[in-house]
Structure 1
């Protein structure tokens, strides 16, 4: 009986160690993305024009990148933690007259979550952004066809 408990304890410890590694990998990827966006971001602006949300990327629970077009992105810093930002499947942005403004508009993550106020907006130079989607060709593995 003691051997079963010992083996169960070892299995739990091994599983937790695996989770820790996955958590560290995720954290490292998120930090790298944050640094890439920060390096590509320009000076803060008060607002940007917003007609539709083309795409978005959560960078932490206090920061996200918003794409209003395929070639136009904004780095948004939030005033405090934004609940579920890293895990939600969709977001919304409030705007007034098709303009999103600092300290006035908010990021919405879901009906049960409090809105997240926008503290800072910076334009992102997508040519500078070090991203797998931007400017880096995919690696292609080549192999000869087998002879028939």
Structure 2
């Protein structure tokens, strides 16, 4: 339903219409997969296909029909997406993937030292307990 190549970013202000309710929301979008309990964050609303919009809003019991509207600068409302509600789920996990890049400095057997991956101590402390992996599938920690 998007026109003129308009891109809808995550956390953009939209209007959710469900029955008689009109709620202003800022949804985040994630993939719709049934085989996992963790879902990958999408930065933009896909032009074609399906996704799930997660937001804080009053509980809407399924399968209620839902419209997402966007207010244009002229004040007119345009339909951005349609769908149905899935029901409230506070345990839904939406993961944001972060790609770290660095230059290999030293490589010795099973250990490697990378330079310029972090630029301040707060980033190092935050990523220290997180497991990292390479494109080839090798895993490691800081």
TM-score range, shorter chain: under 0.3
Which protein, 1 or 2, shows the higher relative CO under an 8 Å CA cutoff with sep ≥ 6?
A: 1
With normalisation by structure 2, the TM-score equals 0.28
Instruction: Report the TM-score when normalising by structure 1.
Output: 0.27
Which structure carries more helix by proportion? 1
User: Which structure dedicates a bigger proportion of its chain to strand?
Assistant: 2
